């Protein structure tokens, strides 16, 4: 129940951000509204933890290592994305591409400055978790927190830095997509020729693909569980040439199902796989034998 309540709070925040901005990645026109929503969500998360105390140190570590950074990352992401978009030069595609490449270098420099902690984050190490993610072990100036005010009862040594790692990974993915887009624009005819030969598209209902997206997200099988639902949706959109801009609202519809399974399409997939395997096991070719 504890995890479900937090997952619902996170899903609601993403759904509201999508409504505010129209696109999870490409619009920050309503930055102040987005930041206000994230701040209120963080307050709700903090109040939830006050009321529902951790049952043990392992739960506290899991919360500050994985859960809180998922929420807090969006604040850094939107602020930095706003700065990147608003500072994009007006000029040729090459000028814009050079600007984006420089921004990638900036994110990489941040990772290098914090190389030891970043490797701990990437490798999902656990040897120092009790030092880094228990509130009682927090120092006065945790890494990466010099410019913000941190609540001692709602922060640990590295939870803020881990949230920045997540945010900068999302930023880097966004910038790389923009560079690829500019590259494709410069040679669109060749790209179209190749893509026509390799094009694959989703021919089922979009809500079925949303089931798959959230299945991948909640089972945490992509990028060691660090992939955001927005990353998975982007990946499926690009791979299957479809528009899933309403994915968050579709998932709300899935959660509201009353008479059919929440996993209707996944259940159908499981059924068809079972039928195929069972039929193949039952099938035994008969050979006519002839007496010589």
**pLDDT class of 46 with cuts at 50, 70, 90:** very high
Structure confidence at residue 196 (pLDDT): 52
Structure confidence at residue 189 (pLDDT): 47
pTM: 0.68
Q: Identify whether the C-beta of residue 243 lies closer than 8 Å to the C-beta of residue 236.
A: no
Q: Identify whether the C-beta of residue 14 lies closer than 8 Å to the C-beta of residue 229.
A: yes
The residue-averaged pLDDT of 134-162 equals 78
Pick the residue with more confidence: 56 or 184? 56
Is pLDDT of 24 > 70? no
Q: What is the SS3 assignment for 187?
A: coil
Structure confidence at residue 37 (pLDDT): 93
Q: Identify whether the C-beta of residue 93 lies closer than 8 Å to the C-beta of residue 188.
A: no
Q: Per-residue pLDDT tens for 182-215?
A: 766 555 544 454 455 456 778 888 889 999 999 9
Nearest to 211 by CA among 271, 266, 261, 258: 266
Cα–Cα distance measured from residue 24 to residue 81, given in angstroms and rounded to the nearest whole number: 11
Of 81-85, 177-181, 268-272, the one with minimum mean pLDDT is 177-181
The residue-averaged pLDDT of 224-242 equals 83
Nearest to 110 by CA among 164, 186, 148: 164
Instruction: Tell me the two tokens of residue 17.
Output: 């951000």
What mean pLDDT, rounded, does the chain reach? Answer: 83
* Domain ranges, ordered by start, for the chain: 2-193, 200-275
Is pLDDT of 161 > 90? yes
Structure confidence at residue 16 (pLDDT): 87
Is pLDDT of 98 > 80? yes
């Amino acid at each position: 129940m504890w995890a479900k309540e937090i997952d619902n709070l996170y899903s609601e925040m993403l759904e509201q951000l999508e409504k505010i901005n129209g696109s999870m990645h490409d619009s920050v026109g309503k930055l102040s509204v987005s930041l206000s929503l994230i701040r209120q969500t963080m307050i709700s998360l903090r109040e939830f933890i006050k009321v529902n105390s951790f049952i043990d140190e392992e739960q506290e570590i899991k919360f500050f290592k994985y859960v809180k950074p998922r929420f807090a990352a969006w604040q850094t992401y939107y602020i930095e994305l706003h700065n990147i978009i608003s500072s994009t030069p007006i000029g040729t595609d090459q000028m814009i591409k050079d600007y984006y490449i420089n921004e990638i270098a900036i994110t990489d420099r941040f990772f290098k400055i914090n190389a030891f902690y970043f490797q701990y984050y990437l490798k999902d190490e656990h040897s120092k978790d009790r030092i880094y993610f228990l509130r009682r072990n927090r120092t006065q100036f945790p890494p990466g927190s010099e410019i913000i005010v941190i609540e001692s009862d709602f922060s640990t040594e590295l939870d803020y830095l881990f949230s920045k790692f997540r945010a900068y990974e999302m930023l880097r993915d966004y910038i790389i997509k923009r560079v690829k887009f500019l590259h494709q624009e410069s040679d669109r005819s060749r790209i179209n020729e190749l893509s026509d030969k390799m094009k694959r598209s989703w021919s089922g209902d979009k809500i079925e693909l949303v089931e798959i997206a959230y299945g991948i997200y909640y089972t945490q099988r992509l990028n060691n569980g660090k992939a955001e639902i927005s990353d998975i949706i982007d990946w499926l959109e690009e791979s299957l040439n479809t528009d899933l801009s309403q994915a968050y609202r579709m998932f709300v519809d899935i959660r509201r199902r009353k008479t059919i399974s929440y996993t209707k399409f996944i259940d159908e997939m499981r059924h068809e796989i079972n039928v195929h395997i069972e039929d193949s096991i039952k099938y035994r070719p008969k050979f006519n034998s002839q007496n010589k």
